[in-house]
Structure 1
């Protein structure tokens, strides 16, 4: 196992329970960044474990250590069966169903769980942390069904499935030359040359009780949503340009008198993207009084979505470095009320596992991303619809309208995706009563995380369709007029993966290619090359606020 346990000075990401970031979660989840634990955090783990051992030796009944769980909280467990209790807890709670988590979702869940454990309030042994680090660093990914969490008491079922591998049970995948290979939990530990882990007092509960599926997926949502917001600004700016719209609505003066930070950022992005655009300049003195809302109100709508995602990022940043299992083990004297009654430690049963702080903001972000998709679909219609599009654009952007349909049905696809976003519902407002009425209010935070991720995927596809249509509309603009610095880069990025539509063909490959352009970060890279590296870093600092 030692080869999979780099020292803090050798690892890409060092966990200390206090400083894990969204960006680091993404690096571990998607780029296989190596992970280590700081020396101070290891000491905190050892101290917390010593407090648990003191409680065990005292023989007093303490929830999570020598009692049953949930409705069975009043059932006392004999000392010689405490280890069995912890193992049975993991086995019994692995009741998940549905699609299996994506590899990045599982790895995000694992790295955030380790960070919570090393904060020093969970009471696990250091070896438990090392087993989890070995899984991450060796690229061994537990197979985890996605459905089963109620977001209180944390993400129990998904975490339990992941932890089965530590017991030489369950399943995992490993990388091979032919792609991911599925193996048993026993084979996974053999690969790491590890014996099955015997769980001790409190460890089973500490491994499965927490919000780490929710916060892991939420971290991925934050990263991808911020990337999408930049792409949406680029798509909207290109549409503004090729429909002969004006960037006057993004003037800094307008933003200063309504100083929402997201609005100011989106407005600054549009101005930056369209800087030096001869197309925009060519009709500065035209007789159009103002543009339609989907263009004129881009800063307000995109900006509100940006603020919602920022609100989610704030919650994720806190949750990534929080202790969220139950009970938590504190040094003597840190809490006002001693639930354990021992002279050695305070073991406090609370509700830090409840996912509501994330669930509400995930639903808010999903609403915001739905609106981002909705306004993009309206701009697609303005590019295609002969009843509202500009005179220089042919119906549906087809070279021979009538005999050809161009991108007509791409708008249908966008509209259907917006409808799906609107129909998703908002899980955080729902509830389920479980565990014999002991757990009578839950957050459904994992459901909210999956909903936000699906909504984000739909919104990204709608944005990709707008990019496609705006690039096609550019083919009908006077060749002598240059695009802006950023809009030109966006147009060229689309054309690098999708050729001009010169006759009808299936739009599906075009949509997929444009979607990948956004999802892989290739569009961000192209815009950063044209506008400066700070674009891909956030794209929000440009312009006069």
Structure 2
């Protein structure tokens, strides 16, 4: 059970709910915080205009709503219905579950003014796995309005769930005062980024170890990872990766060269840059997962008279977009070195083995085509590295004259994670084949981490005669996404 308190939520906990099916509960303090926020919002709306509560939204922000009669809730329904349109492919269950748990966590922060009963209904929806259907196109990095408006319509029974499962709490109405607070969030974008980030963290740990396998197969020179070199490096992450690599390759044997090619010598640089950007993105995501960024933001207390609202632009996910862009660039650069290692593993000059790690040098192609597959996947990663944060658009009669396109960035990061599994899988197949053909054994190395992945790689099919390698690669792709 993952408790949501609006103050702290680990990314691993979000993944446990999204992928592992863990249940969610709201803490009593979160419920009270939301109730206090609701009181504050209502009191503030009595004395001043509040966007989306007593006015229209977007270009209609100057239109004053009549909330004095029983038909006032129609404004809220109109807002939800008009904003629920999306398009493209339907997103998977894991992504939708991650979106819901992020949204619950944000609302639990107590800055929206929403009725806590509506948030409890979302928790019930999540725990019952009665999920709304959410499609890929709709957000532009300034709040995932279609995804969350569609979620509200599903809770109201106006839209079916993803698989027809009835929602456990079917709402009869959605007051106008709660419509905008519910949809004013980039929970989908944040959730997609979290899932991709967590996949990448695991894969980069494994790619570091796979790189050490390749280093061993090519008898690299570990001087590039030495402590004095690490001390002189320009970043803590680079120094840390150098230390990890130094431990991984301990006992690998005599170096074959005074100076290695960049794909080996620059491992601390390329992997360290990715690790640094993963860390920066993690900090941003942990903050966003508990941030009350609803516009307007509700603050203060009715009881002491400090209540109020602040209209702001925190929902504009420009920082998240830039963090994603930076990570994409460092991943694209790191993959250049990965391709370099794959190429050199096929070269007898570096391994002492038949070209392309084939069964013999009589014209067999061995792993030749795996290099092409890896290059195709790297092409996707490099294309995804084109900055989304430089894009913009002017919408809603000029009321929104900029957009971060962080939503596009999150989708591209997911695509990059998928492609990286192929790139890392290819290197694992090649490095493991080279190690096996050289007769190396896990017991030669002191690193338990290297031993574990080496055993996994040596469990791949041992036949080096020309054959269909699709199954080998599929197995390796699963291995690089596992934890060791």
TM-score (norm 2): 0.94
Is the contact between residue 214 and residue 358 of structure 1 (CA under 8 Å) also seen in structure 2?
no
CA distance in 1 between counterparts of 2:265 and 2:358 reads: 26
Is residue 65 of structure 1 aligned with residue 62 of structure 2?
no
Q: What stretches of structure 1 of length at least 5 have no aligned partner?
A: 1-11, 174-181, 335-342, 526-545
Is residue 13 of structure 1 aligned with residue 2 of structure 2?
yes
Q: What stretches of structure 2 of length at least 5 have no aligned partner?
A: none
SS of 2:219's partner is coil
Q: Which residue in 2 is equivalent to 1:418?
A: 378
Is the contact between residue 77 and residue 176 of structure 2 (CA under 8 Å) also seen in structure 1?
no
Label 1:502 to 1:329 Cα distance change in 2 as closer, same or farther (>3 A): same
CA distance in 1 between counterparts of 2:351 and 2:309 reads: 72
Q: CA deviation at 1:315?
A: 0.9
Q: CA deviation at 1:480?
A: 8.0
Q: CA deviation at 1:169?
A: 2.3
Q: Which residue in 2 is equivalent to 1:356?
A: 318
RMSD between superposed Cα atoms in Å: 2.0
CA distance in 1 between counterparts of 2:247 and 2:132 reads: 45
- Equivalent of 2:404 in 443, 461, 466: 443
Q: Which residue in 2 is equivalent to 1:319?
A: 288
SS of 2:396's partner is coil
- Equivalent of 2:196 in 207, 212, 221: 221
Q: CA deviation at 1:402?
A: 4.5
Is the contact between residue 62 and residue 347 of structure 1 (CA under 8 Å) also seen in structure 2?
yes
TM-score (norm 1): 0.84
Q: CA deviation at 1:482?
A: 5.3
Is the contact between residue 168 and residue 196 of structure 1 (CA under 8 Å) also seen in structure 2?
yes
SS of 1:124's partner is coil
Question: 1:369-412: per-residue Cα shift (whole Å, max 9, x none)?
Answer: 222222111100011145xx425111111103444211101100
Mapping of residues 147-296 of structure 1, within 5 Å: 147-152=137-142, 154-173=143-162, 182-183=163-164, 187-189=165-167, 192=168, 194-258=169-233, 260-275=235-250, 277=251, 280-281=252-253, 283-284=254-255, 288-296=257-265
Is residue 492 of structure 1 aligned with residue 455 of structure 2?
yes
Label 1:102 to 1:374 Cα distance change in 2 as closer, same or farther (>3 A): farther
CA distance in 2 between counterparts of 1:223 and 1:126 reads: 30
Q: Which residue in 2 is equivalent to 1:7?
A: none
Q: CA deviation at 1:481?
A: 9.3
Q: Which residue in 1 is equivalent to 2:433?
A: 472
Is the contact between residue 141 and residue 406 of structure 2 (CA under 8 Å) also seen in structure 1?
yes
Q: Which residue in 1 is equivalent to 2:300?
A: 331
CA distance in 1 between counterparts of 2:8 and 2:145 reads: 24
Q: CA deviation at 1:293?
A: 0.6
Q: Which residue in 2 is equivalent to 1:107?
A: 97
